[in-house]
Amino acid sequence: MVSLNRSFLYGIGFASFTWIISLYLYFQLTKNDIVANDTRVQTEQPWHKYNSINEPSQKYSSKDKSYLKKGSSNFLNSGKLIKKLQPVLAPPSHKDKVEEELMNLGIVRNSKDQEIRDEGYKTHAYNVLVSTRLGYNRSVPDTRNKLCKDVTYAKGLPSASVIICFYNEHMPTLLRTIHSVLDRTPKHLLEEILLIDDQSDIPNLHEDIDDYLKKNNMSKVKLLKPETREGLIRARLFGARRAQGKVLVFLDSHVEVNVAWIEPLLSRIAEKSSTVVMPIIDIINADTFAYTSSPLVRGGFNWGLHFKWENLPKGTLDKNEDFVKPIKSPTMAGGLFAIDKKYFIDMGEYDAGMNIWGGENLEISFRIWMCGGSLELIPCSRVGHVFRHRRPYGSPDGKDTMLHNSLRVAYVWMDDYKQYFLNQRSDAKNIDYGDISSRLQLRKELKCHDFDWYLKNVYPELALPTDDEEHLKKKMPDKFQPWHSRKRNYVAQYQIRLANTSLCVQSSKDTKTKGSSLILGVCAKNKRQMWYETDKNELVLAQLLCLQAGKSSPILYKCHEMGGNQEWKHKGGKQTPIYNMAAGTCLGVSKKAVNATLTMKLCNDPELSNWDLVV
């Protein structure tokens, strides 16, 4: 106790001492530039600052003026200091921003970085360079509707077991998933995190995770491993059967949960144990790890039995309160949901005859609705998920497990409607989908509605292949709200000239040809050289196609509006690098000559990667 007090006093003493020094430095620096200090802190840990929960917009919109509004404007508008301070306190100009970006996350500094990045894409299908550099505890923008902040939840919510199964997940990404849960879940609501290693074969991955958990005393996290590779469906079952919590929460192994994510889920289950609830799945860009808000969309499917996102039926979001209320959804995406543990068991858990990946999400969705439960989206609960462009693993026997699993869904749950699926999949004829008798038995015991009931009552908007035009018209038009405005906002227009030359970037073919490369041409004011910058940092040639980073060279491609390889940062004016964060490299050229092809280069060669933006 005494020694504790003493060190406490030393602590205060030390703190005061550093405080005095800071004051001294403050006065010294005022003579020059008092906020330089501030800026330095920002640039050393840039993500710390711009991913801060309260300032979500600072990172991705270089035109954002919110920087000015945050506390500094009054100070700026008064006193003689203003002239001296402004350049530093002003909203980050393109210059500051680019320098920040260049120094951080995505940048490929050398061939070692390039190798890590390339290997990472092969094994994980996302940018591990960025993910590693983000660390384990970044904050994410609070993407909830403002009204969510006023909602209060009852005391005594049930506790949850969070079940995360993984196969060959990238360790820092998995650890960030775990830390986000530990950091943003009230302790008393988190019974445990069950990590199910589905026989990953990355050398030492299991041991390294185990070590990390032990070294950091993370006793709430239990690392388990089934004896064989089970696939995500049976791996989740393996976890669920060992869970101690009252509610099971399933998550993928590359997610980050948002502020107050679990309370609204648990609260809804506490109200009614037969509701299965899902957070809104926000988007973590696989190339940049940018965290962005998802619009409110619900789950549907098509007759190939593929899950799809779709707009909410008209009228779902009429009033303000509708943005915090549960929203019914015909299906779930599969990865992220919470369910009462007893209800999960009574309802027949998962179909353990399903392998590796696919189909289980529609199976559990149909089952919940048809057998008396309901499936809801909870708008105040948000969890970001890394959406990859491809799945980086297959099944051990090379079989199409999605087809195998979908056949089980069709034969157990879809009655005569399964024919629509089978008509689409002629390759399904001779596939052995295993024994489904116990699942048919379950359907009988639970006295479930038939599939016709489901379509009429839960998903009347789904078009049937037999619908005539009139039916289709009734189902489709005006039923859905547009949630994605396609209007493009141009903020600047310029030619891109290689610094100290009279050569400008132009399309190698005409401006309409998708996939064409870029070359240098003698600067001339024609549309093949006219670039339009959008508010999403896209560079659109002649207002038609977007500049897109490739592995070794950029191309012109249809604008996809997802950032990443079509998002370019520069400091404006003259002598600027043009940086693509997804690629981690800069726009460059192999030589200073007419017809030289544009390439993606490390950003450290000003001769061949500095540009003037000529208005």
Residues of this chain that bind ligand UD2 (CB under 6 A): 165-167, 169, 198, 231-232, 235, 252-253, 281, 333-336, 356-358, 360-361, 385, 391
Contact 131, 44 (CB under 8 A): no
Write the CB contacts of 240 (distance below 8 Å, at least 6 apart in sequence): 163, 248, 341, 344, 349
User: Minimum distance between the CB of residue 385 and Mn ion, rounded to whole angstroms?
Assistant: 6
Task: Select from ligand UD2, Mn ion, none the partner in contact with residue 361, using the beta carbon and a kind-dependent cut-off of 5 to 8 Å.
Answer: ligand UD2
- Comparison of 253 and 548: residue with beta carbon closer to ligand UD2: 253
User: DSSP alpha helices (H): ranges in 281-394?
Assistant: 341-346, 360-370
- Comparison of 235 and 587: residue with beta carbon closer to ligand UD2: 235
- Comparison of 252 and 360: residue with beta carbon closer to Mn ion: 252
Closest of 262, 53, 58 to residue 142, by C-alpha = 53
User: Minimum distance between the CB of residue 125 and Mn ion, rounded to whole angstroms?
Assistant: 10
Task: Select from ligand UD2, Mn ion, none the partner in contact with residue 360, using the beta carbon and a kind-dependent cut-off of 5 to 8 Å.
Answer: ligand UD2
- Comparison of 252 and 567: residue with beta carbon closer to ligand UD2: 252
User: Minimum distance between the CB of residue 403 and ligand UD2, rounded to whole angstroms?
Assistant: 13
User: Minimum distance between the CB of residue 230 and Mn ion, rounded to whole angstroms?
Assistant: 17
Contact 225, 196 (CB under 8 A): yes
- Comparison of 170 and 571: residue with beta carbon closer to ligand UD2: 170
Measured distance CA(176)–CA(131) in Å, rounded: 9
Measured distance CA(234)–CA(457) in Å, rounded: 31
- Comparison of 231 and 521: residue with beta carbon closer to ligand UD2: 231
Count of C-beta atoms within a 10 Å radius of residue 451: 17
- Comparison of 125 and 596: residue with beta carbon closer to ligand UD2: 125
Q: Per CB under 5 A, which region of 53-61, 187-195, 250-258, 563-571 contacts Mn ion?
A: 250-258
30, containing H or E segment: helix 2-32
Measured distance CA(309)–CA(375) in Å, rounded: 15
Count of C-beta atoms within a 10 Å radius of residue 102: 20
Task: Select from Mn ion, ligand UD2, none the partner in contact with residue 167, using the beta carbon and a kind-dependent cut-off of 5 to 8 Å.
Answer: ligand UD2
User: Minimum distance between the CB of residue 279 and ligand UD2, rounded to whole angstroms?
Assistant: 10
Measured distance CA(574)–CA(572) in Å, rounded: 7
Task: Select from ligand UD2, Mn ion, none the partner in contact with residue 281, using the beta carbon and a kind-dependent cut-off of 5 to 8 Å.
Answer: ligand UD2
- Comparison of 281 and 586: residue with beta carbon closer to Mn ion: 281
User: Minimum distance between the CB of residue 324 and ligand UD2, rounded to whole angstroms?
Assistant: 22
User: Minimum distance between the CB of residue 253 and ligand UD2, rounded to whole angstroms?
Assistant: 4
For Mn ion (CB under 5 A), the number of binding residues is: 1
Q: Which residue has the tokens 């038939």?
A: 450
- Comparison of 231 and 245: residue with beta carbon closer to ligand UD2: 231
User: Minimum distance between the CB of residue 400 and Mn ion, rounded to whole angstroms?
Assistant: 19
User: Minimum distance between the CB of residue 231 and ligand UD2, rounded to whole angstroms?
Assistant: 4
As given in the structure block, the two tokens for residue 171 are 């360790």
User: Minimum distance between the CB of residue 357 and ligand UD2, rounded to whole angstroms?
Assistant: 5
Give the residue at shortest CB distance from ligand UD2. Answer: 334
Does residue number 198 form part of the binding site for Mn ion (CB under 5 A)?
no
Task: Select from ligand UD2, Mn ion, none the partner in contact with residue 588, using the beta carbon and a kind-dependent cut-off of 5 to 8 Å.
Answer: none
User: Minimum distance between the CB of residue 125 and ligand UD2, rounded to whole angstroms?
Assistant: 9
Measured distance CA(587)–CA(577) in Å, rounded: 7
Torsions phi, psi for 557 (to 5 deg): -145, 165
Task: Select from Mn ion, ligand UD2, none the partner in contact with residue 198, using the beta carbon and a kind-dependent cut-off of 5 to 8 Å.
Answer: ligand UD2
Pairing relation of β-strands 190-197 and 160-166?
parallel
Q: Is 359 left (phi over 0), alpha (psi -120 to 50) or beta?
A: left
* Residue 493 Cα distances to 147, 527, 531, 615, angstroms: 39, 11, 6, 6
- Comparison of 386 and 540: residue with beta carbon closer to Mn ion: 386
One-letter amino acid for residue 35 of the chain: V
Count of C-beta atoms within a 10 Å radius of residue 341: 19
Measured distance CA(221)–CA(178) in Å, rounded: 8
Give the residue at shortest CB distance from Mn ion. Answer: 252
- Comparison of 47 and 166: residue with beta carbon closer to ligand UD2: 166
For 251-285, give the DSSP string. E-SSEEE-TT-HHHHHHHHHH-TTEEEEEEEEEEE
User: Minimum distance between the CB of residue 565 and Mn ion, rounded to whole angstroms?
Assistant: 20
Pick one of 191, 198, 252, 351: the residue that binds Mn ion (CB under 5 A): 252
Measured distance CA(355)–CA(439) in Å, rounded: 15
- Comparison of 252 and 263: residue with beta carbon closer to Mn ion: 252
x/- letters, 208..247, toward Mn ion (CB under 5 A): ----------------------------------------
SS3 percent helix, strand, coil of the chain, rounded to 5, is: 35, 20, 40
Write the CB contacts of 62 (distance below 8 Å, at least 6 apart in sequence): 92, 94, 97, 537, 569
Count of C-beta atoms within a 10 Å radius of residue 157: 20
Query: Residue numbers of the site for Mn ion (CB under 5 A)?
Result: 252
